[in-house]
Amino acid sequence: MTLLARLMAERAPVRKVIRVILRSLRLGSYAFRLSIGAVERPHYAYIIYQAASLARRLRLPRISVLEFGVAGGAGLLCMERHAGEIEKLIPEVKIEIYGFDTGAGLPPPADYRDMPYHWKSGFFAMDPARLREKLTRATLIIGDVAETVKTFTATHNPAPVAAMSHDLDYYSSTAAALDLLKAESAFLAPRIFCYFDDTLGSDNALFNDYTGERLAIAEFNAQNDAIKLSPPYNLRILDGGEAWKHQIWIAHSFGHPLYNTYVSGEPEQLPL
């Protein structure tokens, strides 16, 4: 698809162009560009900023942000940049970053739910040594996510997980990663901002509710009463038409000791 065709497909092409210009030239403050989505990978900026904002209201001094599916590492490096900027905006909260990956690319698909018509074994391999040289704050965790998730809290003693990006592609890997949401409450924020990359797709991918990440989300909700993943409907109604706003879910941990802590400020009641 040409650039013109992509712009014509946008609901607000002029806004899209303006955001691209502001992002590319870094015009205005980071806070301003963040507020209008004119930053690289705005979905990462959104989940990290919202996670830190909630942590400040809950008086949590540290949080963890996770990326499942690191591939070459561009996303993890982007997370580092956003975390540095967001810590300037919210200095009361420090941000730890962890990236999970096999290091060898996608494993063989388990069955049709991993969509082998769209994904192939070996896709998205990384060079772990080279990536670690570039990382400044993130911890890279290499191995089968079904195993590394089980040992994550005991091995790393992370700050409460408050944001996650899921880009493991497969149903099987995503389902394994979601098990982390069942960790002890000390390792979780009461509401966790999540991005799921492979939930919209293309005419070739045809992501649906019965395979891939969408199936993993649906099954997780069906199997767990105390924790549910739900879209933030306020975000989806905002104008602009950016696809990423439809790829955000919030994990609500209803039994978390801090879930019912009031965080919304004073009501603005109009006089009679």
**pLDDT per residue rounded down to tens, the chain (272 residues):** 555 555 445 566 677 788 888 877 778 899 999 988 889 999 999 999 999 999 999 999 999 999 999 999 999 999 999 999 999 999 999 999 999 999 999 999 999 999 999 999 999 999 999 999 999 999 999 999 999 999 999 999 999 999 999 999 999 999 999 999 999 999 999 999 999 999 999 999 999 999 999 999 999 999 999 999 999 999 988 766 689 999 999 999 999 999 999 999 877 777 77
Report CA torsion sign: 149, 153, 159, 161.
Answer: positive
Helix H or strand E encompassing 180: none
Distance from C-alpha of 218 to C-alpha of 223, rounded to nearest angstrom: 9
Give the number of other Cβ atoms within 10 Å of residue 157's Cβ: 9
CA distances in angstroms from 115 to 33, 118, 212, 215, listed in the order given: 36, 6, 7, 11
Q: What are the structure tokens assigned to 160, written together?
A: 């409460």
Domains of the chain, CATH where assigned = 1-39 (no CATH), 41-253 (3.40.50.150)
Between CA 93 and CA 96, with CA 94 as vertex, the angle to 5 degrees is 135
The residues facing 164 across adjacent strands are 66, 194
What is the model's pLDDT at position 12?
62
pTM across the whole model: 0.92
What is the model's pLDDT at position 255?
97
- Say whether 224 sits in a helix, a strand or coil: coil
Q: Which of 214, 217, 194 is nearest to 206 (CA)?
A: 214
